[in-house]
């Protein structure tokens, strides 16, 4: 049991004010909140996708499960039209919607995630037998194991030295031969397969805010040496990935499939992938054009996707400046995000002013920001950028909610998966704060599904403020008619 440290009196007073305001806000939404025994942490994370064909080809830990999206579409009654996901990630929402006969639009900023969706879409639309035969022939030849030209890996500073030399050489040989395949569709599928194995052939492991480096790399970060275990041989890893894709396309796997046989292909909805930030694209979408919105934005937890997916981004040719631009363009969820000064011109003065009013009138959020500013001034917070991040995170998400209200048809559901967080002992009720913004944007709060089990706190939080479970929720809002 961690020893709880004594807090300054000013902190104690502010934390009590925040708890009281939180309780008042919770009472306002108490009749909307319901523990949903159908949901668990496996369902609202990537874990349930490990056996889903298409989803399991790549490791995307920030997504939710296909099973959850089927559940949401069924429960919210989306039967026709087009579904929108403004933070599409690896595309679970849009591909499940298409599987169920709905058209779908994905907005995604990260090039590696957009690539996952575009390649899957290419495979669905391509001659499947032709793709299977081309991949089998490439695998049979194993030309990357023969001498020849290489396509050098486009390293950036944070990926330099990521691979054992033999793996990097074979990866370069493979990428060169893939890029010179006569069929451009097969070129992308082959490159996609390599992108899916980068972590397993490298010294790195994805770990939220950064890449963890195995001590064998000579670049180990942190106080404790990290050993990721076995680093796969490139030929073994790429052969396994290509065989997995081939087996899935041939229907050899018992796993659920998002690639139906030819008789049902015509029943699939269309998938559209828009590359870029939803803060740029949402204001440009046609009003009243979507029948539902299902999404999971980045959480307010300091995770930096440009670092987590640095290997994939570098392989796709994103350089140092591109990484910096992506980091500043994404929704503010890291301490490095700066304020986006061009938002009024993007969203228009009417929308921007309405969001500003909603943001500034939110008492709980105002108290939390005031408290975090106090912690910043007395240097008790571990990173002063947290204050700016929390402020900008909620303001930008409020803009997304208001802009989404314009694009949705009357009666359309808006479903969001997100986590509550805790900073310096202050519970940040993300579910309730965003629901308050949604009501001001023209939604009714239909229900807030609470998972039976929440999540714990970091050891630092428990040491300072004790253990307090944080709610995990799925919110269902409905655009008013």
Residue by residue, DSSP assigns 57-77 as GS--TT---HHHHHHHHHHHT
Sort 204 into a burial class: Cβ within 10 Å, 0-12 / 13-18 / 19+.
Answer: buried
Task: Categorize the per-residue pLDDT at 263 as very low, low, confident or very high, splitting at 50, 70 and 90.
Answer: very low
Average pLDDT over residues 398-418: 98
Task: Write the pLDDT tens digit of every residue in 322-353.
Answer: 999 999 999 999 999 999 999 999 999 999 99
pLDDT at 72: 97
CB 387 within 8 A of CB 393: no
Spatial distance between the Cα atoms of 86 and 73, rounded to a whole number of angstroms: 16
**Between 351 and 263, the higher pLDDT residue:** 351
% of residues, the chain, pLDDT over 90: 81
As a whole number of angstroms, the distance between CA 147 and CA 181 comes to 17
State the greatest distance between any 2 C-alpha atoms of the chain, in Å, as a whole number. 71
pLDDT band at 2 (very low <50, low <70, confident <90, very high): very low
Burial class (CB in 10 A: 0-12, 13-18, 19+), 194: buried
SS3 305: helix
pTM of the model: 0.92
At 223, is the secondary structure helix, strand, or coil? coil
pLDDT at 462 over 50: no
Task: Judge whether residue 382 has pLDDT over 60.
Answer: yes
Report domain extents, the chain.
9-114+261-479, 128-250
Q: Output the CA–CA distances (angstroms, integers) from residue 90 to 10, 256, 284, 343, 476, in the order listed.
A: 44, 17, 23, 26, 22
Q: Does the pLDDT at position 465 exceed 60? A: no
Confidence class of residue 458 from pLDDT cuts 50, 70 and 90? very low
Rounded to whole angstroms, the Cα distance separating 153 from 307 reads 17
Q: Average model confidence (pLDDT) for the chain?
A: 91
Say what the pLDDT of residue 461 is.
46
470, β-bridge pairs: 455
pLDDT at 454: 58
Residue (of 358, 382, 372, 360) closest to 461 by Cα position? 382
Confidence of residue 34 (pLDDT cuts 50, 70, 90): very high
- Residue 41 has a pLDDT of 78
Hey, which residues does 271 pair with through a beta bridge? 104
Report how far residue 192's alpha carbon sits from residue 275's, in angstroms, rounded to the nearest whole number: 17
Provide mean pLDDT across the span 10-23. Answer: 96
Q: Is the pLDDT of residue 456 over 70?
A: no
106-143 confidence digits (pLDDT tens):
999 999 999 999 999 999 999 999 999 999 999 999 99
Which residues face 204 on adjacent strands? 213
For residue 157, give the DSSP letter.
G
Predicted confidence (pLDDT) at residue 151 exceeds the cutoff of 80: yes
Query: 477 near 438, Cβ under 8 Å?
Result: yes
The percentage of the chain sitting over the pLDDT mark of 70, rounded to a whole number, equals: 89
Tell me what pLDDT residue 265 has: 57
Q: Which CATH number fits domain 9-114+261-479: 1.10.10.10, 1.10.1060.10, 3.30.70.260, 3.40.50.150?
A: 3.40.50.150
**In what helix (H) or strand (E) does residue 124 lie, and over which residues does it extend?**
helix 111-125
Q: Which residue has the higher pLDDT, 397 or 461?
A: 397
The residue with greater pLDDT, 65 or 119, is 119
CB of 464 closer than 8 Å to CB of 15? no
């Amino acid at each position: 049991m961690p020893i709880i440290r004594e807090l300054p009196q000013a902190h104690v007073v502010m934390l009590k004010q925040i708890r009281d305001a939180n309780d008042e806000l919770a009472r306002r939404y108490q009749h909307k909140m319901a523990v949903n025994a159908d949901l668990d942490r496996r369902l609202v994370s990537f874990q349930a996708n490990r056996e889903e064909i298409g989803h399991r080809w790549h490791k995307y830990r920030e997504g939710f499960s296909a099973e959850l999206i089927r559940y949401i579409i069924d429960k919210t009654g989306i039967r026709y039209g087009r579904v929108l996901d403004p933070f599409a990630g690896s595309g679970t929402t849009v591909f499940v919607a298409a599987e169920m006969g709905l058209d779908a639009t994905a907005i995604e900023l990260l090039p590696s995630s957009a690539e996952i969706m575009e390649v899957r879409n290419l495979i669905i639309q391509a001659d499947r037998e032709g793709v299977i035969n081309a991949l089998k022939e490439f695998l049979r030849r194993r030309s990357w194991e023969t001498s020849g030209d290489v396509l050098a890996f486009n390293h950036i500073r944070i990926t330099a030295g990521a691979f054992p030399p033999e793996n990097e050489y074979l990866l370069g040989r493979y990428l060169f031969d893939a890029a010179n395949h006569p069929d451009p569709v097969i070129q992308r599928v082959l490159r996609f397969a390599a992108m899916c194995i980068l972590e397993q052939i490298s010294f790195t492991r994805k770990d939220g805010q950064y890449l963890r480096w195995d001590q064998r790399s000579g670049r180990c970060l942190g106080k404790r040496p990290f050993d990721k275990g076995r680093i796969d041989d490139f030929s073994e890893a790429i052969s396994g990935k290509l065989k997995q894709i081939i087996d899935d396309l041939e229907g050899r796997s018992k796993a659920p499939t998002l690639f139906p046989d030819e008789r049902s292909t015509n029943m699939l909805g269309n998938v559209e992938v828009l590359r870029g930030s939803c803060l740029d694209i949402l204001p440009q979408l046609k009003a009243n054009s979507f029948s539902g919105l299902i999404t999971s934005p980045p959480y307010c937890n300091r995770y930096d996707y440009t670092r987590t997916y640095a290997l994939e981004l570098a392989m796709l040719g994103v350089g140092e400046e591109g990484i910096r631009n992506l980091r500043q363009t994404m929704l503010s969820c890291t301490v490095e995000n700066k304020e986006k000064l061009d938002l009024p011109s993007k969203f228009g003065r009417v929308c921007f002013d309405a969001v500003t009013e909603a943001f500034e009138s939110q008492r709980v959020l105002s108290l939390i920001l005031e408290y975090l500013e106090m912690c910043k001034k007395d240097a008790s917070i571990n990173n002063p950028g947290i204050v700016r991040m929390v402020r900008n995170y909620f303001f930008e998400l409020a803009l997304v909610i208001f802009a989404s209200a314009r694009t949705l048809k009357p009666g359309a559901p808006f479903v969001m998966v997100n986590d509550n967080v805790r900073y310096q002992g202050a519970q940040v009720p993300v579910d309730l704060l965003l629901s308050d913004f949604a009501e001001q944007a023209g939604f009714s709060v239909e229900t807030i599904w609470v998972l039976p089990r929440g999540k714990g706190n970091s050891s630092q939080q428990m040491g300072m403020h004790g253990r307090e479970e944080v709610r995990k929720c799925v919110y269902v809002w409905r655009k008013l008619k």
